[in-house]
Amino acid sequence: MPRRTFLRFTRAQQIDQHEQQHYLRCYSPEALFHNWQQFPPLTSAALFENEQPLELEIGCGSGELLLFLARERPHTNFVGVDISRKMLDKAVEQAVRYRLPNLKFINADFRQMYPLLMPDTLKSVYLHFPDPHLRPRHQKRRLLNAEFLEQMHRALKPEGTLSVMTDVCDFFFDMLAIIEQDTRFQKCHSERYLTGSDLPVRSHFQRVWEGYGEQVYRCLIQKKA
Ligand SMILES: C[S@@+](CC[C@H](N)C(=O)[O-])C[C@H]1O[C@@H](n2cnc3c(N)ncnc32)[C@H](O)[C@@H]1O
């Protein structure tokens, strides 16, 4: 490769890496387990150095929802957490492309991040198309359980919302039953649950499942003031 081309190529790579680091943080399971105190709390001040409202997507995958919301609402900060680095690389590539100062991604197991959640800090949380773990012996891996709601109740601001969406009917009703047992939340709709998506953007998995003709089940709940 000619020297000039090589230099241009390596410089472009360096810029990419630098920009990638701006958008992506990686928290190893070992470090989170042994020394979670070394990581910044999940707040706008710690992650964005400002006080804008903060919204979180858990299991954000390739980030379509947050990429859309961050562009639409520049005065809100958005954080996406996903355990899969491969999925996040796609999200980060787009974040670099659009240069979004109000968006960050964290590569971590969200269940290990509970100590980083601060009281009354999140405006909204999205749990869309979480892995259903349908086999009985795998169900303990599901993200939404009583402990998860405990943490959401602590971290959400009063009247902050949690949006839950999936195409897996049995899984949805399992989650709904857990949600309905927690009287510290109320539904934002009069129906027991809703079907179909009302979002202006469709995530990767939403497109996949809707392509197979699957119905989407969802509910939106709010932390009581
Ligand atoms: C079916 S995908 C849905 C992705 C995205 N929400 C969408 O609608 O396209 C589920 C995502 O949750 C992530 N995930 C599963 N368990 C997780 C955990 N414990 N912490 C963080 N992310 C997790 C997976 O890596 C995967 O990207």
Whole-angstrom Cα distance, residue 21 to residue 15?
A: 10
The DSSP bridge partners found for residue 82 are 107
- Catalytic residue numbers read 131
- ipTM computed for the complex: 0.99
**For residue 34, what are the CA distances in angstroms to 28, 83, 124, 225?**
10, 18, 29, 35
DSSP 173-209: HHHHHHHHH-TTEEESSSSSSEES---SS--HHHHHH
- Asked if 164 contacts 132 with a C-beta cutoff of 8 angstroms, the reply is no
Domain residue ranges in the chain: 3-223
Instruction: Report the separation in Å between the CA atom of 214 and the middle of ligand 1, taken as the mean of its atom positions.
Output: 18
State which amino acid sits at residue 175: M
Reported in sequence order, the residue ranges of the chain that DSSP labels E, i.e. its strands, are: 24-26, 54-58, 77-82, 103-107, 122-128, 156-166, 185-187, 194-195, 217-223
Please give the chain's pLDDT, 225 residues, in tens: 555 544 444 444 554 778 888 999 999 999 999 999 999 999 999 999 999 999 999 999 999 999 999 999 999 999 999 999 999 999 999 999 999 999 999 999 999 999 999 999 999 999 999 999 999 899 999 999 999 999 999 999 999 999 999 999 999 999 999 999 999 999 999 999 999 988 888 888 888 888 888 899 999 999 999
Nearest CA among 158, 188, 36 for reference residue 109: 36
Kindly report the CATH number that applies to the domain delimited by 3-223.
3.40.50.150
Would the CB of 148 count as within 6 Å of ligand 1? no
Would the CB of 199 count as within 6 Å of ligand 1? no
* Residues whose CB is less than 8 angstroms from the CB of residue 2 and which lie 6 or more positions away in sequence, other chains included: none
